[in-house]
Structure 1
Amino acid sequence: MGRERKYGEIHPGVKWGPFTIRLPGVHLKLTPSQHIQGGLILLATCGSITPLVMQYFEVSFEVAWTISLVMLFWVLAQTVLFGDVYAAGAITAGLPLTIVFMNTLTPGIEAIHGMIALTLVVIALFLFFGVTKLGEKFNAMIPVALKAGIIMGAAIAAFQSEINRLPEMPFSLITAWIVVLVLMFSIPFSKLPNTKVKLFFGSNALLVSFAFAGLVGFFTGELSYSISWGIFVPPIGETISTLSLWSVGFPSWEVFLTVLPIALIIYVLAFGDLVVAHTLLKGADKAREDEKIDINPTRSHFVLATRNIAQLLTAGPLLWIHGPIWTGVQVFLIERYKKGRHVMDSIYGGPMNFYLMAIPLGLLLPVIGIIMPLFPVALSVTLLLTGFACAYVAMSMVHNNISRGMVLAIGMLTATLGPVWGIGIGIGLYFILIGRHGETKAVESQFGGDSEEKEQTA
């Protein structure tokens, strides 16, 4: 092990620039009990976009799976190589809008160029707002109703995609939806006594929903499993020659201009994720005085830019953008962290142990054989939860009926016609219906301080 952490200090590691390396088994204690559960959940969730990668980029399963495995490496790198405190994920709320954009492109090179351009613009935004530290001011400039409408657009697009998918596997998908919604959001379920069974099901909601859907799908004939033995050998050469910048070249300037509105939305969503993560970790910091949690939004911007650049250079574009936090996993890990050092030595050890075995498990053909049929279920659950969360977040951001109506209108336009129409008409509606001074705005910093609000009337 590396140097032991002194009481109340930041967990030690090896500093390099603004980042800190914390290696498994050296700086961070290994917790094998988390390895299999975390690895399987991560594989099923991240692998859920594999069919979409195959569809839009016109690549084989082997190439699409390799892209997912490379993504998992850079997700783990957020904790191990860069030392950021969050449980890394993707900007999932942006995925429905990305799919809407992909549907306007021809599968193959055009779609690959579109995703490369979108990723590069988002990277530029992370770097710009990281260097200038203007991210908070930029987000404060955007009217709350407009932001809520954009988030509602992600919710509507997510629900639309799953309603369209439902006839393909109704029994499996409905089972997964019911199980995950009950375990994560049901008020009657939350009021049940906190038995070991309830706690197990509640803390493993994703895995339990996949398991139930897998069984129902097998018995109804919607899902079939083909298990073989061996090791998956990633076709690195084919992946690079098919998707890398060196092979497909840079998109045209017209494509960059087209993706700019979507990129701005994705950055706003990512900044919102950082605010959520900060709020969650403040509670963890209060619960544990033995470790100081190092939260640095500027560093997080650089980490996100680096992860997305690395993804592009090593395996080409994803269909979603690397993001700061996987909210469900972050909440689960923080609850374990609050139980004390005997359960989780360091806040950094949580994501490391949860993510560590994903790639080794993803190279085993028997595991792939079990997980691959569940990809549509995993994607559906991911989008359903994204839609559900985005919908209630959007509605909670506004506080009068005019704003709620406007949020729904912007959301519908964004989901059906695209972000350009949603933002353009949304700005017009905002000035016509609400006015420049018609919203209640928070005047304190989103990253600290006591909450103070004051009304600004039109």
Structure 2
Amino acid sequence: MGKKRTYGGIQPGIKWGPFTLRLPGVHAPISWPEAIQGAFLSLATGGALAPLMMNFFDIPFEVAWSILTIQLFWVWSQTILFGDAYAAGWITPALPLVLVFLGGFTPGPEAVQAMIAITLVVSFLFIFFAITGLGEKFNQLVPNALKAGIILGAAIAAFMSEIDRVQTLPFTLITSWVVVLVLMFSIPFGKLPNTKAKLLVMSNAMLVSFIAAGIVGTLTGELTFNIEWGFFIPQFGELLATVSPWGVGMPSWSIILAAIPISIMVYVLVFGDLLVADTLLKEASKVRPDEKVDVNHTRTHWALAIRNLGQMFTGGVLIPLHGPMWTGIQVFIMERYKTGRKAMDSIFSGTMSWYLFALPLGFLMPIIGIIVPLLPVALSLTLLLTGFACAYVAMSMVNDNTTRGYALAIGMLTAFVGPAWGIGAGLVLYFLLIGKNNQTPAQDQSEEHKAS
């Protein structure tokens, strides 16, 4: 049973420096719908990176899966060790950019060193903005319409990736999309009587869509399952020798310099993730005045630096890097959170519970046998919900025809040409079309959204 908080207060925890330690069941009640769904979906979505790392790092599946078991701890640490209210994840929008960069290097140690270079430079940016506090100032200086364009670009990029993916598993993926969108966002479905069956499937929307995809994929022959018994033995020795600085060494200065442009783009995308996260939390706070969510971007920057460097030195480099929020899951948790305290006592009940059982289940061979065929479904659902959330958040940030058109144009440039072009053209077009004194009023920022 989690500790009780005062009405309108911050969820209890143990302060250590700028961070707050919270343990599931101790400092916040366990939310079982999140714990059950998160166990499978965290493994499946994380496992979707295994083929990419096998290809670019030239490693076997056993090493790739070992990397993913360690990354589960570092993902979970964002909530339990550092005290952020985000359902942490990767820097997912950066994935296409990272893959293009790695494609310029020979698979194996050279590509690993290239990924180490990105990790080092991005971590340096996190530390720099944490020390100087300029990250928050940067957030405040960026016009609201440009923020909307950046976020809309992430939505477009997410949807674009799924257009290509659906051709490989059409029946399976479309089934999962329809089920999750109906259960989470359908207005007609929401108007149906709140029976126990309806509330059950709504609380487990991600899991229900996963099961539906598995059934349809099996019936159509798009998916096949190979179940084995036993325990997975992590290949930690080979992992450290092949995908970490301990084994392949630090990259040369030429590789580090080559990684600087893409690392800056990655940070811009992280900034976009934080914008989406703040908007989602702000919307939820309007209907959940019983809890004050402490959002601190300086703390988040420190946590991201520690997570990425910790991953690199203990579990090898990770494609596409640790980020502040798993957008699709954050949306799912926030929608449940907004239904009231009976459904989810604290936002931390959802974010901590999501990863609670993923790590131990990742060592069971039968679970791996079930998860592996569904890896594309998990990644697809993540990107779909990411795109859906980014789209409605971006649209809510603009309120006249000029800024709507501007946001769409910047979003298209960002998705099709790249973040650097989106930002550059966005700044020029902002002054030409809107002007610095005619910015669409930014949403009010409460004190908990400011870095201390």
Question: Would the TM-score normalized by the shorter structure come out above 0.5?
Answer: yes
Aligned twin of 2:175: 175
Q: Could you tell me how far 1:374 is from its partner in structure 2?
A: 0.3
1:264 aligns with 2:275: no
Q: Could you tell me how far 1:158 is from its partner in structure 2?
A: 1.7
1:156 aligns with 2:184: no
Aligned twin of 1:358: 358
2:16 & 2:436 partners in 1: Cα distance?
45
Aligned twin of 2:87: 87
- 1:144-166 CA-to-partner distances (Å, cap 9, x unmatched) read 33332222222222222211122
Aligned twin of 2:367: 367
Query: More deviation in 156-165 or 414-423?
Result: 414-423
Q: Could you tell me how far 1:26 is from its partner in structure 2?
A: 5.7
Aligned twin of 2:45: 45
Paired residues of 1:19 and 1:299 also in contact (CA < 8 A): yes
1:338 aligns with 2:341: yes
1:253 aligns with 2:267: no
1:110 & 1:35 partners in 2: Cα distance?
38
Q: Could you tell me how far 1:134 is from its partner in structure 2?
A: 2.9
Aligned twin of 1:380: 380
Q: Could you tell me how far 1:24 is from its partner in structure 2?
A: 5.1
Change (3 A) 1:58 1:183: farther
2:186 & 2:64 partners in 1: Cα distance?
35
Aligned twin of 1:454: none
Change (3 A) 1:399 1:105: farther
> For structure 2, which runs of at least 5 residues remain unmatched after alignment?
none
Tell me which amino acid in the other structure corresponds to 1:138: F
Query: More deviation in 183-192 or 100-109?
Result: 100-109
Q: Could you tell me how far 1:283 is from its partner in structure 2?
A: 4.8
* RMSD after superposition: 3.2
1:165 aligns with 2:165: yes
Aligned twin of 1:238: 238
- 1:328-384 CA-to-partner distances (Å, cap 9, x unmatched) read 3532563577118xx74x654443333221111111000010111000111111112
Change (3 A) 1:24 1:382: closer
1:350 & 1:385 partners in 2: Cα distance?
17
1:219 aligns with 2:256: no
Aligned twin of 2:66: 66
Tell me which amino acid in the other structure corresponds to 1:246: W
Match of 1:363, SS state, is coil
1:254 & 1:76 partners in 2: Cα distance?
31
Tell me which amino acid in the other structure corresponds to 1:176: S
Paired residues of 1:126 and 1:267 also in contact (CA < 8 A): no
Q: Could you tell me how far 1:132 is from its partner in structure 2?
A: 2.9
1:127 aligns with 2:127: yes
Match of 2:319, SS state, is coil
1:395 & 1:29 partners in 2: Cα distance?
34
Q: Could you tell me how far 1:437 is from its partner in structure 2?
A: 3.1
Aligned twin of 1:455: none
1:397 & 1:103 partners in 2: Cα distance?
36
1:154 & 1:103 partners in 2: Cα distance?
22
Tell me which amino acid in the other structure corresponds to 2:243: L
> For structure 1, which runs of at least 5 residues remain unmatched after alignment?
450-458
- 1:224-258 CA-to-partner distances (Å, cap 9, x unmatched) read 00000000111112222222133332362332322
Aligned twin of 1:287: 290
1:273 & 1:209 partners in 2: Cα distance?
24
Query: More deviation in 150-159 or 95-104?
Result: 95-104
1:136 aligns with 2:136: yes
Q: Could you tell me how far 1:33 is from its partner in structure 2?
A: 7.1
Q: Could you tell me how far 1:84 is from its partner in structure 2?
A: 3.5
Tell me which amino acid in the other structure corresponds to 1:68: L
Q: Could you tell me how far 1:272 is from its partner in structure 2?
A: 1.2
Query: More deviation in 33-42 or 156-165?
Result: 33-42
Change (3 A) 1:337 1:393: closer
Q: Could you tell me how far 1:173 is from its partner in structure 2?
A: 1.1
1:18 aligns with 2:18: yes
- 1:24-76 CA-to-partner distances (Å, cap 9, x unmatched) read 56656667776433312322233233333333433322222222211211122
Q: Could you tell me how far 1:140 is from its partner in structure 2?
A: 2.2
Normalization by structure 2: what TM-score?
A: 0.85
Normalization by structure 1: what TM-score?
A: 0.84
Paired residues of 2:227 and 2:366 also in contact (CA < 8 A): yes
Tell me which amino acid in the other structure corresponds to 1:207: L
1:6 & 1:401 partners in 2: Cα distance?
44
Change (3 A) 1:151 1:54: farther
Q: Could you tell me how far 1:297 is from its partner in structure 2?
A: 3.8
Tell me which amino acid in the other structure corresponds to 2:138: F
Query: More deviation in 207-216 or 136-145?
Result: 136-145
Change (3 A) 1:186 1:55: farther
Q: Could you tell me how far 1:302 is from its partner in structure 2?
A: 2.0
Change (3 A) 1:246 1:370: same
- 1:309-340 CA-to-partner distances (Å, cap 9, x unmatched) read 21122122322333334413532563577118
2:287 & 2:107 partners in 1: Cα distance?
44
Change (3 A) 1:100 1:213: farther
Number of equivalent positions = 442
- 1:277-328 CA-to-partner distances (Å, cap 9, x unmatched) read 642663576236xxx7554443233222222221122122322333334413
Match of 1:286, SS state, is coil
Aligned twin of 2:421: 421
Aligned twin of 1:276: 279
Change (3 A) 1:406 1:261: farther
Tell me which amino acid in the other structure corresponds to 2:218: F
1:195 & 1:325 partners in 2: Cα distance?
32
Tell me which amino acid in the other structure corresponds to 1:286: P
Paired residues of 1:284 and 1:338 also in contact (CA < 8 A): no
1:316 & 1:273 partners in 2: Cα distance?
29
Tell me which amino acid in the other structure corresponds to 1:320: P
Match of 2:251, SS state, is coil
1:24 & 1:179 partners in 2: Cα distance?
29
Identity rate, percent: 53
Change (3 A) 1:284 1:127: farther
Paired residues of 2:30 and 2:350 also in contact (CA < 8 A): no
Q: Could you tell me how far 1:176 is from its partner in structure 2?
A: 1.2
Match of 2:223, SS state, is coil
